[in-house]
Every structure is written in C-alpha cells, then in structure tokens.
Amino acid sequence: MFNISVLQEPETLESAVAMLKADADLRVIAGGTDVLIRIQHGGDGWSRLLSLRNIKALEAISLREDGTIVIGATAPFAKIFLDPIIRKHLPSLAEAAVSMGGPQIRNVATIGGNICNGAVSGDSASTLFALEALLKLESEDGERIIPIHEFYAGPGKVHLRPGELLTAVLIPRSSYQGTGGHYIKFAMRKAMDIATLGVSVICRVQDGRFEDLRIGLGVAAPVPIRCAEAEAYAKGRPVTVATCQEIGKLAVKATKARTSWRASKDYREHLVEVLTERAVLESAKRAGDLHAE
C-alpha cells in the first residue's frame, strides 16, 4: 500500500507553484518511477504529493527562433527519443534517452525527474553536461536559469529551492550547432540496468582538427563532471587515434571514482579511459572529419 494522504493535480504551472508555496510539505511527483519506490519503502515525508502530470505545457519539446531547444521538464524519455528536433539536433541525447530503463519506464520517467533526483548515474546527466544545458527553475517568487553543473550538490542532492520546480531544459544553439556527439552507457547488462559509467562527448572538427571538445562523465565522481584538462588538450590537435587515446588518459585525471559493489575504482578508471577514447572517436566521425591514423 502507498501511504498517500494528499494528491494535488494542478493543470497550470501558476497553480502548481502557488500550491507549493501554500503547503511546504507538498513533494513533487512527475513520472513517479523514483518517488513511488521511495513511498513503497516507507519514505518519510512523502505522503503529500503534487503531481505534474496534468500540466500538459510542461511536456513540450520545441525549437525557438534563436535556435534554443526547449525540453519541457515532464517530457518522458520515450518522447525525447522519438522527437524529430532531438533526433536531428541532439542525437546523443536521443541515445541517452533510449538507453535508460525499459519501454515501460521510458514511457513515464521524465527528464526533469532524472535531473532533480540528483543521481550521478542518471542517463541524461553526462550528455546534458556535455551540451552545457541550462535549467529553468520557477517558483512563486519568479524564475532563474542556471547552468546544469551548478545544480548538482552531491550524491542524490540538487540545489532546488523550497517551492521551486524545474520547468525546462534549455540547449542554446551555440552548444549543438555543427557538432557530432556520442553517448556510451556501460552497465552490467544491456537493458534495465543503472550505468556503471556514462560517457558523453560533443565535438566540433575543422580541417581535421578538434575545434571544440566537451566530455561529460556520469558515475566517475560524486556528481556528473566535465574533463577540463582533456578538453583543453584536444583544442587544435589533429583528429587521430593517438590524440583520442591521450584524451582518454587525461579524462581519468578529472575523475574521483570510488569502489562500490558495481565496480572497483581501478575498473571505473579503466572504463573512463577506454570509453572516452571511443566516444571521442565516434563523435569526431559524426562531426564529419575523421582522419584516424
């Protein structure tokens, strides 16, 4: 039995933020794939819920005139995977979307829930880091837009203020135009498993050289990370296997991997090196200019 005493189901964002302001004990539920498990396990403080399901405007995916892609926070992963805007402009996010859960989970689990649960293994996180996504957060007191890397506070923790909702994920045109990208999820089995490591790469290649490279890693540290040293090394270097191997090695330096029952620290570091190299090579190929030696 689920111990739910109140279920608010507002139809507009305005009424949702007003309800959250009026009742500090209300907790947000979107797809419920994390929340319902928490409640089933007895989850203290989760008996008064505000559901986002009836706010249809929050599900939309659109392309603004200035080229910004707007992904509504309650867009489920199945919709993200199938959406023509995402498939055309953000194919690595489509790869991440289809890698999570199974069909039933992808039909209900939302991108907003994947971000707001703060899980470092969330399949959207590394790609959204590589894409330098912005998060739109709204409450009765107004809205703020922050880079995704400022949102993650620690394992399972995010900087969501009281009464605040994540309403959209924004990807500016400058983050994706002319790029190639690739997401690799490494898990113990091919489906229905949480990532042991998630690697997502976005790059631009000009005349056979890396113009821009962004590497997002999930499960390589307590929060999703970028790999500054590896990214800086790549700039201006030829797109060769040797360059990609060095990028893989440098990516390990950014990590703070730890041993867990899923994998040892050494194994995770090995995965970071090898899978980053692979993801960079494939992204460069997709960017259209590979001169592998």
Ligand X SMILES: Cc1cc2nc3c(=O)[nH]c(=O)nc-3n(C[C@H](O)[C@H](O)[C@H](O)COP(=O)(O)OP(=O)(O)OC[C@H]3O[C@@H](n4cnc5c(N)ncnc54)[C@H](O)[C@@H]3O)c2cc1C
Instruction: List contacts with ligand X (CB under 6 A).
Output: 27-35, 37, 52, 73, 100-101, 105, 109-110, 112-114, 116-117, 119, 122-123, 160, 165-166, 192, 194
Closest residue to ligand X, Cβ-based? 113
3-state secondary structure 21-54: HHCCCCEEECCCCCHHHHHHCCCCCCCEEEECCC
Alpha helices in 117-238 (DSSP H): 125-130, 173-176, 228-234
Extract the tokens encoding 286. 């997709």
Whichever of 116 and 247 has its CB closer to ligand X, that residue is 116
Whichever of 122 and 180 has its CB closer to ligand X, that residue is 122
Task: Please state the closest distance from residue 51 (CB atom) to ligand X, in A.
Answer: 8
Whichever of 20 and 213 has its CB closer to ligand X, that residue is 20
State whether the Cα torsion 84-88-93-96 is positive or negative: positive
Whichever of 83 and 289 has its CB closer to ligand X, that residue is 83
Name residue, tokens 């090579």.
281
Name residue, tokens 């089933």.
40
Whichever of 204 and 268 has its CB closer to ligand X, that residue is 268
Task: Please state the closest distance from residue 224 (CB atom) to ligand X, in A.
Answer: 11
In sequence order, what are the residues at sequence separation of 6 or more whose Cβ sits closer than 8 angstroms to the Cβ of residue 110? 30, 31, 52, 73, 74, 75, 76, 77
Whichever of 74 and 276 has its CB closer to ligand X, that residue is 74
Whichever of 31 and 180 has its CB closer to ligand X, that residue is 31
Task: Please state the closest distance from residue 213 (CB atom) to ligand X, in A.
Answer: 24
Task: Please state the closest distance from residue 289 (CB atom) to ligand X, in A.
Answer: 32
Task: Please state the closest distance from residue 116 (CB atom) to ligand X, in A.
Answer: 3
State how far the Cα of 52 lies from the Cα of 172, in Å rounded to an integer: 25
Contacts 24+ apart (CB under 8 A), 265-271: 268/196, 268/197, 268/219, 268/220, 271/186, 271/196, 271/197
In sequence order, what are the residues at sequence separation of 6 or more whose Cβ sits closer than 8 angstroms to the Cβ of residue 115? 73, 122, 124, 125, 128, 135, 148, 151, 158, 166, 169
